[in-house]
Amino acid sequence: MTLLDDEPVIARAEAWIADDVDDADRADLRNLLTLAADPQMREIALTELRDRFSGILEFGTAGLRGAMAAGPRRMNRAVVITAAAGLAAYLASAVPGPARVVVGYDARYRSADFARDTASVLTAAGADVSLLPGPLPTPVLAFAVRHLDADAGVMITASHNPAADNGYKVYLGGRVITDAGQGAQIVPPYDARIAAEIARVSAAPGGASGVPRAVGGWTVLGDDLHEDYLRRVASLHDPDLHLRDVHTPRATPTSGARTAVTLRSEGSGPTPLRIVTTSLHGVGGRTLRRVLADAGFTDVIPVEEQLDPDPAFPTVRFPNPEEKGVLDLALSIASDARADLVIANDPDADRCAVAVYDPDWGTYQGAETAASHGWRMLTGDQVGALLGWDAAQRTASGTLACSIVSSRVLARIAERHGLRHATTLTGFKWIARTPDLVFGYEEALGYCVDPEGVRDKDGLSAALRVALLAERLKESGKTLRDALDDIARACGLYSTGQLAARFDDLGRIPEAMGRLRAAPPATLDGAPVTGVVDLAEGVDGLPPTDGVVLTADDDTRVIVRPSGTEPKVKCYLEVVTPVAADATAESLGRARVTAQRRLERLRKEMAAALGL
C-alpha cells in the first residue's frame, strides 16, 4: 500500500485537526502525519491513523468507552463535546423547559476536562447543570441523579479499563424516565435517540468546534452531596438483625441505631472484624473508609499504596479485581494481619470484590503466597448468593434480580423465601429496571443492595452489607464460608466458572459465534445437551441479544456471548450438585472439588467448540 492509497485517511486527519478544540490532540495528529511521511515510520503511523479514522466511537447502552487520543474512534475532547451536544439536543426534545443534569467524574487522565466540557456544552444549550465537587465514585453520581431529581446524569469514567482509556456513561431519570428505571443507565431506544443527535452534531460544519460552550453558569456542588450519599449508605445499618440459620423461618427485621463493636481481650469472645481494603488507585478508598467507620468498623487496614487516586495505576497491570494477581498485595497484607476478609473496589467503586481465608484451599505446592496459605477471592456469584440471601431475609415481598449469565441460585433463594425472581439481560442498565427490586446482582462483581437510593451497582454499599454480614457471622462463631455451606444445603450447590477469549481481530468474534450456532456441542461434560437457545431471537420476554444458551439433562448450563465492553467472547459455566440438608462441611468440600473439576472439563470443551 502506498502513501497515495492512504490519501483519504490523511485528508480526514487534516480535516479533524482543523476542527479540533484541543491543542494537544491537534499536535498528536500532526506528529502522526509527520511520521507517515517518513519511510521508516510510515507503516506504523498509517496503521494508527487508519484505526483512528476507520469509523466513530459508537454511542450505545454503555455510552462511550475507548482509548484516549485524537480522532473519531478515540476518547477526546472533540468526541465528548459532540456527545454532550447530542445529549443536550435529546433532552431538549424530551422535557419541557431546562433539563436538570448532574455531571460526575473519576480521577483518570482527562476526566476533569471531559466533565467541564460536558457542563459547558449543556449549560450553553440551556440545561441546569450541577457538577460534582471533585473526583468521586460512580455510585455517588448515580445517587445524585435520584437524590436531586435530575433528568439526566453523566459520569466520566472507564471503570476498570486500562489507564489509557476513558468513558462517558449516561443515566436518565427525573421527567425523562418515570418508571422503575428512573435514575438507571440508558437502554434502547434512548441510546439510539441520543446517538442520532450526536451524529447530527458531528456532521454539522465545524464539528466540535462549532458547538457552543459556556465559560461558566453551572453549579459546582458542595461536599454536602457526598455527605448525603454517606448518610444514605449509613441508613442500611440494621443492628438487631442477627444471622439466622438458613433453614429457619424469616422474622421481621427490627430497626435502630447500630452500636459499634467493642474491643474484647483474648479469650473473652469474638474480636472486632478485621478488614483489609483496597481501592486499586481509584476514587473509592476514602469513601469506603468513611462508610465502614460510620458503621462502627474500627479495625480496617487499607492498602496504603493503592489508597489514593492515581490514573497510572502503578501497582497493577490491569485495574480490574477480577484479573489474576490484582489483589495479591491486599491478600498478602491480610495474611500478615490475620484479617477476617478483604474488600476491594474497582477504580470507580461501583464493583466490590471479596476475599476470605479458606484453609481448605491452602497448598504447599509452588511459591509461598497468601493464596497458597488459603486466601482466595469469592466469585461474584458466591457474593451474590450471600447478599441475596441476606436481602431475602430482610423483606416480605419484592423481587430479586440477576443477569442471565449469573448463577441460577438466586432464583432458588427467591423461591425459598416466597419472593419473585427476574432474569435480565447482562448489565445493570437492565437489572436496575426491575420493578419492585429488592436486590440485584451480576456475576461481574456488581451488586445493588439499595435500589431506592442507587439504581445501579454500588461497590460501597455492597461492601458495607458484606462487612455487616461477616460481623454477624463472626459473633455467632461462623464465617462467610459457613454461610455459603448453609445456602448450598438449602438450595443445592451451584458452582460457576468462566472461559474468556480475547480477540485482536474483532472479525473473529462473529465467526466464533457462528461456528457455535452452526454446530453446538452434543454433550456438556458427558451429559446430553437437551436445549440450545439463541438469545438473538429474544427469549422469555428478553430483548434480542447476541448469545447462545446450552443446557444439559443434568442441569449443567453454558452461556456464550461477546463482551459488551471488551474484545472478548465469554463462556459462563454452571454445574449443579444436589446437596443433603444435613450435609457435613467435609462432604460439601469434596463436592466443591468435584464441581471445579467438572468446570475445568467444560472450559476445555467450550474452547474446542469455539475453535480457540
> Contact, 389 vs 411, CB < 8 A?
no
Number of domains in the chain: 4
Residue 191 in any domain: the answer is: yes
Contact (Cβ atoms closer than 8 angstroms) between residue 356 and residue 480:
yes
Average pLDDT, the chain: 91
Contacts of 116 (CB under 8 A, 6+ apart): 131
User: Are residues 504 and 460 located together in one domain of the fold?
Assistant: no
- Identify the band that residue 540 occupies on the pLDDT scale cut at 50, 70 and 90: confident
What pLDDT is recorded for position 238? 52
Please check the confidence at residue 262 and state whether its pLDDT lies above 70: no
- pLDDT (average), residues 37-66: 92
Q: What is the CATH number of the domain that holds 596?
A: 3.30.310.50
pLDDT band at 361; cut points 50, 70, 90: low
Do 316 and 206 belong together in one domain? no
For residue 159, indicate whether it is catalytic: yes
Beta bridge partner(s), residue 75: 68
- Both 394 and 465 in one domain: the answer is yes
Lowest average pLDDT, out of 27-41, 73-87, 245-259, 336-350, goes to: 245-259
Q: For residues 559 and 461, state if they share a domain.
A: no
* Helix, strand, coil % over all residues of the chain, rounded to 5: 40, 20, 45
Cα–Cα distance list, 418 to 242, 250, 318, 409 (Å): 20, 10, 41, 14
Residue 339, pLDDT > 60, answer yes
**Which of these ranges, 237-251, 275-289, 403-417, 516-530, has the smallest mean pLDDT?**
237-251
Decide if 204 is inside a domain.
yes
Q: Please answer whether residues 319 and 107 qualify as being in contact, where contact means their C-beta atoms are separated by less than 8 angstroms.
A: no
Residues 334 and 351 placed together within one structural domain of the fold:
yes
Segment 482-511 shows an average pLDDT of: 90
Predicted local confidence at residue 247, as pLDDT: 34
Structural element, H or E, at residue 494? strand 493-502
Q: Are residues 572 and 499 in the same domain?
A: yes
Q: How far is CA 274 from CA 17, 196, 381, 536, in A?
A: 55, 51, 23, 46
Residues 412 and 506 in one domain: no
Q: Are residues 314 and 458 in the same domain?
A: yes
Active-site position among 120, 130, 159, 335: 159
Examine residue 404 and state whether it is found in any structural domain, yes or no: yes
Question: How large a percentage of the chain has pLDDT more than 90?
Answer: 81
Residue 261 lies in a domain: no
pLDDT at 253: 33
Residue 564: which pLDDT band, with cuts at 50, 70 and 90? low
497 and 474 both lie in a single domain: no
Q: How far apart are CA 123 and CA 110, in angstroms?
A: 20
The answer as to whether 262 is a domain residue is no
Joined grid coordinates for residue 349: 467503586
- Judge whether 256 lies within some domain: no
CA gap 355, 357 in Å, rounded: 7
DSSP SS3 for 277: strand
Query: CATH no. for residue 96?
Result: 3.40.120.10
Residues 196 and 337 in one domain: no
Q: How far apart are CA 481 and CA 445, in angstroms?
A: 18
203 located within any domain: yes
Residues 566 and 426 in one domain: no
What is the gyration radius of the CA atoms in the chain, in angstroms?
Answer: 25
Q: What pLDDT is stored for residue 254 in this prediction?
A: 33
Q: What is the 3-state secondary structure (H, E, C) of 518-570?
A: HCCCCEECCEEEEEEEEHHHCCCCCCCCCCEEEEECCCCEEEEEECCCCCEEE
Whole-number Å distance between alpha carbons of 402 and 427: 9
Same domain, 533 and 420: no
Say which DSSP state 316 is in.
-
The pLDDT, as a whole number, for residue 362 is 60
Residues 6+ apart with CB under 8 A from 364: 372
Which tens digit of pLDDT belongs to each residue from 190-224? Answer: 999 999 999 999 999 999 999 999 999 999 999 99
Domain assignment of residue 259, yes or no: no
Residue 408 or residue 358, greater confidence: 408
Q: CB–CB of 171/185 below 8 Å?
A: yes
What residues make up the domain containing 106? 59-222
Q: Per-residue DSSP letters for 129-188?
A: EEE-SSS--HHHHHHHHHHTT-SEEEEE--TTS-TTEEEEEEEE-TTT--STTTTEEP-T
d(CA 23, CA 467): 48
Q: Is the pLDDT of residue 252 over 90?
A: no
pLDDT for 371 equals: 66
Q: Which of these three, 489, 506, 525, is where a domain ends?
A: 489
- Listed in order, strand segments (DSSP E) in 394-491 are 399-403, 420-424, 437-442, 446-448
